[in-house]
Structure 1
C-alpha cells in the first residue's frame, strides 16, 4: 500500500503503526462474526435456551443491555482516556476483559436450565460491552495516524483487514465444526471450541496492535467529572459542531439497518430461505469476504469523491439489499443479496468511522468517538428491536420486516443532506484552537 504519501498519513507516522492499528480490526472481528452472528447466537436459542419461545427475546435483551451500558459509559471512558493520554492502556484492559468473557462462554454447556441461560446472558453482556469499548477506542487512534484527506483510505484498510480476521476466525471454526459433525459430536461439544478459537485469535492479533501502535496523546490536567456529568458535557460540546451532530443522527438511522443485517442475517437465512447451519456459516464467510472488498475499495472512493457521496452510495446499495432479500425465494437469489450486503457493510462502516475522525476536534478524539459509539449502540437497539416488533405484529412475516428496514437507510440518506464536511472540519479545527 502506498501509505507513505504525506496526503494519507500524518507526519512521522510509519507504515508499521498503521498496520498495528489495522490489526485490531483483524483481532476483534472474529468476536462479532462467531459470537454475535454465525455460531453462538443460534446455539443460545436452540441449545442453551432449548428453543423456548422467549429465547430470541432473551438473546436480543442481552445485547440491548450491553449496548445501553456502552451508550451511558463510553463518553466518560473516552474523555478519561483523552485526559490521561491513556487510550492504549484502556484498550488493553478492555481487550483482556472481552477475551476472558468470550472464553468463559465456553463453560455454558456445563450448566442446565435457567442457570445456563442466566450465565450465558451475563457473559454476553460483559463480553459485548468490552468489545464495544475497544471498538470505540481503536477508532480514536485513526485521526492521529491519517490526514483528513487520507482518513477514508486508512479506515478502509482497517475495515478490510478486519473482515479478513473475521473470515479467518470463522473459517477455522467452520473447519472444526464440519470435522466434529462428521464424527457425530453434538453442538455442546463443538460450540465451546469455536469460542476458545475466537478468544485465542482475538488475543494473539491484538498483541500485534499493542506492540506496534504507540500512544501519542499527552495527559491533560483536568478534574474528572462523574459519568453522567461527563456525558452531559460531551453532548454540550458536540452541539457546537452541527455537522458532527448531523452525522450522529445519520449514524443512528443507517447503523440501525446494518445492525439488523449483522444480528439477524443467519436467522433470516435459516427461517425464511431455508439454509442449514453449515450453509449459514459459509454464507457469513462470503459476506465477510465481500465486506472486506467493499471496505478497501470504498476507502479510496470516499477520498476521491468525498465522504458524504460515498456513504450515500453505500446506503443506496443497502436499500437494494433489503428489497432483494424481501423478494427472493431461492438460496441462489439470497446469495446475491448477501454479496451486496457485504459490499455495502464494509463501505458504510468504513465511511462512518472516517467521517467521525474528520469532524472530531483533535483534542477530544476519544470523547467524540465515544459519542459515535453511543450512536452506533443506540442504532443496535433500535434496528433489531424494530425488526422484531414488526415481525411480531405481522404474525412472523420477516419479509415485511426486512422490507421496512429500508426506512432506516432512506432516513440516513436524508440526514446526510444538510451535512457539510468542509464546514464541519473547519469547526473542529477552530474549536481546537488550530
Structure 2
C-alpha cells in the first residue's frame, strides 16, 4: 500500500478517506437500492400505478439539483481550499434528513419525496467532494488501485448497514411488526452508521489545497472559473468525451441501483427479506469487483478494463430479462455486482487522471454533473417505461440496457494518453499565467 500512496500521505490518512466510502455506502444501499425504495412504492404510495414513476421522479429532481450545484460547489472548494469543510456540512445534512425519513409512513408521499430529495442532494455533493481528494492521495500510476481499495471498502460499509437493518427487520417481524413499523427504524440505523463511520475521515484526512484568489467575490469567482472551464472545453476533448460516455453507461447503472429491489419484488416475487439478502450478497461481489479490477486496470489499461465491465453489464441485462427462476436472477444480480464496483471505481480514477491538478475539485464537480444527469436519465426512462407498459418491469429493464451499449461505443472515442497530455499542458499554462 505504501508504494501506491503519495510521499506525504500516511496510511491512516488513506484509511480516513476510504472510510467515507464505507460510511456513505449505507445510504445508497438501504435508502436507494434495497429497502426504502420498495417501501415507498409498495407502502407509502400503496402500490399505485404511478408509484414507481413517483419514486424515480423524486430521485430525478434531487439529481438535477445536485447536477446544477456540483460544479459550483467544486469551484468554491478550489477557491477556498474548503473541500473538507464543505464535506462536513453535506455529511451532517445527509445524516439529518436520512434520520427524519423515520417519520414517513403510509400515505406520506409528499413528505417522503421532500426528505428523499434533501438527503440525496447532500449525499451527492459529499460524494463529489470526497472524490476530489483521490489525486492528492495516490501516485499517478496507482490511482486506479487506490480508488478501487476505497470503493471496495465502501461496499463493506453497505454490507454492515444492510446487515444491521436485516437483523432488526427479522427481529421486528418475529414480533409481528409490519413494514410500516419496521422500515422507518432502518432509516435511524442508516443515519447512525453514516455519522459514526465518517468520523475517521474528519479526524485523519488533510486539506492540502491552498486558498486561491477571488477578488471579484466568492460566487462570482466560482461562476467565472466554471465558465472558463466550459469555454476551454476543446483543450480537454478526451475528458469530456469520457464524461459523455459516463452519462450513458451510468444511466444504466443508476437504473439498476435505484430499482433493484423494486424489480426483484415486482418482477420476481421476492419478499423484503429476500431482497435484502440478495443485496447483501451483491455488495460482496461488488467489493471484490472494485478491488481486483482496480489492480487489473493499472496493468491492462483503464479503457480496456472499463470496456470489459460494460460488456458484463450487457450480459447481466440479458440474464435478468430472461430469468424465470430465482437462481438465474441471483446469477444476474451477482454479475451486476462484479461490474458495479469496477465500473464506478474506474470512472472516478479516470477523471482524476485527466484533470489539471489545481482544478481537481472543479473537474470532479463536472464528473458529478455527468453522473447526476445519468441518474436522471436511467431511472426516469425505467419509470416512464413501466408506466407506459402497465408495469412491465422486464421490458423496461431490457430497453434501459441500451444505455450500456451507447456508453461502450462512446468510450472508444476517448484517447487516454492525449487526455493526459492535455491536463499536464493546461496545468503548466495556469502556473505560468
TM-score exceeds 0.5: yes
Instruction: Tell me the distance in 2 between the aligned counterparts of 1:197 and 1:387.
Output: 29
> Does residue 260 of structure 2 align to residue 262 of structure 1?
no
Stretch deviating more after TM superposition (290-299 or 403-412): 403-412
Deviations for 1:265-285, whole angstroms, at most 9, x for unmatched residues?
Answer: 111111111211110010011
Counterpart residue number, 2:230? 235
TM-score if structure 2 supplies the norm length? 0.95
1:285 to 270, 277, 280: 280
Q: Is the 8 A contact 1:160 1:291 kept in 2?
A: yes
1:185 to 148, 152, 177: 177
Q: Is the 8 A contact 1:105 1:195 kept in 2?
A: yes
Instruction: Tell me the distance in 1 between the aligned counterparts of 2:387 and 2:114.
Output: 26
Counterpart residue number, 1:244? 239
Q: Aligned runs of 1:402-413 on 2, under 5 Å? A: 402-413=397-408
Deviations for 1:238-277, whole angstroms, at most 9, x for unmatched residues?
Answer: 4420110011001001000100110111111111112111
SS at match of 1:240: helix
Counterpart residue number, 1:209? 201
Counterpart residue number, 2:71? 75
Q: Is the 8 A contact 2:154 2:287 kept in 1?
A: yes
Q: Is the 8 A contact 1:75 1:234 kept in 2?
A: no
2:57 to 61, 71, 82: 61
Instruction: Tell me the distance in 2 between the aligned counterparts of 1:380 and 1:61.
Output: 11
**Residues matched between the structures, number:** 426
> Does residue 339 of structure 2 align to residue 344 of structure 1?
yes
Q: Is the 8 A contact 1:75 1:230 kept in 2?
A: no
TM-score if structure 1 supplies the norm length? 0.95
Q: Is the 8 A contact 1:238 1:368 kept in 2?
A: no
CA distance change for structure 1 residues 229 and 119 in 2, over 3 Å: closer, same or farther? farther
Deviations for 1:38-58, whole angstroms, at most 9, x for unmatched residues?
Answer: 111111122222223322222
Deviations for 1:283-341, whole angstroms, at most 9, x for unmatched residues?
Answer: 01111111000000011000011111110010010000001111110000000000100
Deviations for 1:167-192, whole angstroms, at most 9, x for unmatched residues?
Answer: 11000000100010011012232112
Instruction: Tell me the distance in 1 between the aligned counterparts of 2:327 and 2:185.
Output: 31
> Does residue 100 of structure 2 align to residue 104 of structure 1?
yes
Counterpart residue number, 1:149? 141
SS at match of 2:336: helix
Counterpart residue number, 2:89? 93
Stretch deviating more after TM superposition (125-134 or 391-400): 391-400
1:168 to 145, 160, 164: 160
Deviations for 1:147-167, whole angstroms, at most 9, x for unmatched residues?
Answer: 221010000001100000001
Q: Is the 8 A contact 1:291 1:344 kept in 2?
A: yes
Deviation at 1:228, TM superposition (A): 6.0
Counterpart residue number, 1:334? 329
Deviation at 1:233, TM superposition (A): 3.5
Instruction: Tell me the distance in 2 between the aligned counterparts of 1:81 and 1:237.
Output: 20
Stretch deviating more after TM superposition (338-347 or 183-192): 183-192
Instruction: Tell me the distance in 1 between the aligned counterparts of 2:340 and 2:152.
Output: 11
Deviations for 1:102-154, whole angstroms, at most 9, x for unmatched residues?
Answer: 00111223xx64xx221111110000000000000000000000122101000
**Backbone CA RMSD of aligned residues:** 1.4
Q: Is the 8 A contact 1:274 1:331 kept in 2?
A: no
CA distance change for structure 1 residues 237 and 22 in 2, over 3 Å: closer, same or farther? farther
Deviation at 1:231, TM superposition (A): 4.6
Instruction: Tell me the distance in 2 between the aligned counterparts of 1:247 and 1:288.
Output: 26
Q: Is the 8 A contact 1:20 1:210 kept in 2?
A: yes
SS at match of 1:51: coil
> Does residue 15 of structure 2 align to residue 19 of structure 1?
yes
Instruction: Tell me the distance in 2 between the aligned counterparts of 1:357 and 1:49.
Output: 41
Instruction: Tell me the distance in 1 between the aligned counterparts of 2:312 and 2:380.
Output: 23
Instruction: Tell me the distance in 2 between the aligned counterparts of 1:354 and 1:87.
Output: 18
> Does residue 2 of structure 2 align to residue 4 of structure 1?
yes
Q: Is the 8 A contact 1:358 1:425 kept in 2?
A: yes
